[in-house]
Amino acid sequence: MSNTKIKSALISVYHKDGLAPIVQKLHSLGVEIYSTGGTQKFIESYDIPVNRVEDLTSYPSILDGRVKTLHPKVFGGILARREENHLNQLKEYDIPEIDLVIVDLYPFEETVKTTNDEILIIEKIDIGGIALIRAAAKNYKDCVIIPSMDDYDQFLSILDDHNGATSLEHRKYFAQRAFAVSSNYDTAIHQYFAGDNVEQLKVSYNEGKALRYGENPHQKAQFFGDLTEKFDILGGKALSYNNLVDVDAAVNLMAEFKDYEPTIAIFKHTNTCGLATRPSVSEAWDAALAGDPVSAFGGILISNTAIDLATAEKINKIFYEVLIAPAFDQDALELLQAKKKRILLVIKNFDQQSVTYKTLLNGAIAQNADMSTQVASDLETKTKAQPTQEQISDLLYANICAKHLKSNTIVLVKDQQLIGMGCGQTSRVDACKQAIDKAKRMGFDIAGSAMASDAFFPFPDCVEIAHKAGVTSVVQPGGSIKDQLSIDYCDEHSIPMVFTGTRHFKH
């Protein structure tokens, strides 16, 4: 099909940035322009004549601007097929053909991010703009739709290269873009009203960024979202699929420790292999690295405290993929940036998504994120022996660690340092033995340590194994019909055991 010349255009946009070159080009091509409100005034400021939509419809903009373009004389010109029957109807009702529609919607998502004022948010739900986008996209064989300011540059190039004409291929492409914009917009509105409701799942992101590959080199992958809302990226190679998965796990864990004294965590394959809290960030690094210096190679590092030069000099001695912190001292940053491939991220916030989901089988599952974090008042002592304040501190610390490791998991913590962990095991006993073995191999003295389990102990075997290794306090959710067996063992050996009442499976 040959190119179709644009003879008339309807323009109604929120953001005017980048619009001037387009309207100037359209004017130079002799295109008749229809507009209203602020867009009309903007175009006229360039001494370009505009046909007012109010004059076309014989109705003014009403209801504080809520109704401007919703009229048969507007939508008839957009939706009419360029065939005899439809063209005769346009002529009968004195409706002009509209070959081009340019829209930029009210910024609903941006408004939700910047205010909790429901009145302001609701007023940013675009009605006329969405209708214009859908109408023009539906009739893409005869009308071209530019649905967002993000499409201005590409459309201007087409105008320049094709002397004001578009091909069917162009129009179909912009129709696809239009429905992407409209579906994303409607999904954002649905999510605002749905909140944390997981009974319906609607997910939409406008733009995707191609990644080098997925989990493995033979898999293609994209990231959907805006990382700049979360991080300032200070250098290094592009984040990979696996990097992003690990970074997500790291941020979720550190959100729990963001208000602690200096804390550093080291991640490998989404699991914590080092974690410690100390009076200084340099000491926290030493203690976290001691948890497993071998696994730290190629890992993801995260701190809740600014990285100073002393810490940077130590970190710089190992190979790592990503380092995340709320800030970097200038001299530390200069040192770290010397290694060009190391990814440095300044985290802006520890906000977490309240709903998580994943695809499986022929559908998807969604759930409220596990935002439950236990504090001292949540602990119920089940044994005769009462935990000391120091033990409570380590038990809560260990419980957080267990929450963020793959099930089945057992965690050993001593003096706010992860000294051993077993995770991803099919048997809780195996996880317990793995945690003890790792602590010993890393040279830690297990005596006096606290143990956490992500789920209940069905038998007392784990408690017995841990006690014989030196564990002196235990935290678990409880809930087994045989809880008393573990309690009895602890009572026999004067070990304080506390229940949280909250399981933290992670698959």
- d(Cα 328, Cα 1) in Å, to the nearest integer? 58
Place of tokens 């957009």: 78
3-state secondary structure of 327: coil
Residues 6+ apart with CB under 8 A from 202: 187, 190, 191, 194
- Choosing from 5, 269, 406, 440, the catalytic residue is 269
List phi, psi (to 5°) of 37.
60, -140
SS3 annotation, 378-442: HCEECCCCCCCHHHHHHHHHHHHHHHCCCCCCEEEECCCEEEEEECCCCCHHHHHHHHHHHHHHC
Active site residue 269: yes
Looking from the CA of 299 toward its CB, the CA atoms found within 13 Å total 26
Handedness of CA 444, 450, 453, 458 (dihedral sign): positive
3-state secondary structure of 376: helix
Query: Taking a C-beta distance cutoff of 8 angstroms, is the pair 472, 448 a contact?
Result: yes
- d(Cα 370, Cα 157) in Å, to the nearest integer? 48
Spell out the long-range contacts of 401-404 with Cβ–Cβ below 8 A and sequence spacing 24 or more. 401/272, 401/275, 401/452, 402/452, 402/453, 402/454, 402/504, 403/256, 403/370, 403/373, 403/454, 403/504, 403/506, 404/249, 404/252, 404/253, 404/256, 404/272, 404/506
Q: Where are the beta strands (DSSP E) in 190-230?
A: 208-210, 222-224
How does DSSP assign 7-64, residue by residue? Answer: -EEEEEES--TTTHHHHHHHHHTT-EEEE-HHHHHHHHTTT---EEHHHHHT---BTT
- d(Cα 112, Cα 121) in Å, to the nearest integer? 6
How does DSSP assign 76-126, residue by residue? Answer: HHHH--SSHHHHHHHHHTT-----EEEEE---HHHHHHH---HHHHHHT--
User: Which amino acid appears at position 317 of this protein?
Assistant: K
Place of tokens 């509209």: 98
Active site residue 138: yes
- d(Cα 446, Cα 444) in Å, to the nearest integer? 6
- Choosing from 16, 138, 258, 406, the catalytic residue is 138
Query: Taking a C-beta distance cutoff of 8 angstroms, is the pair 338, 182 a contact?
Result: no
Active site residues: 138, 269
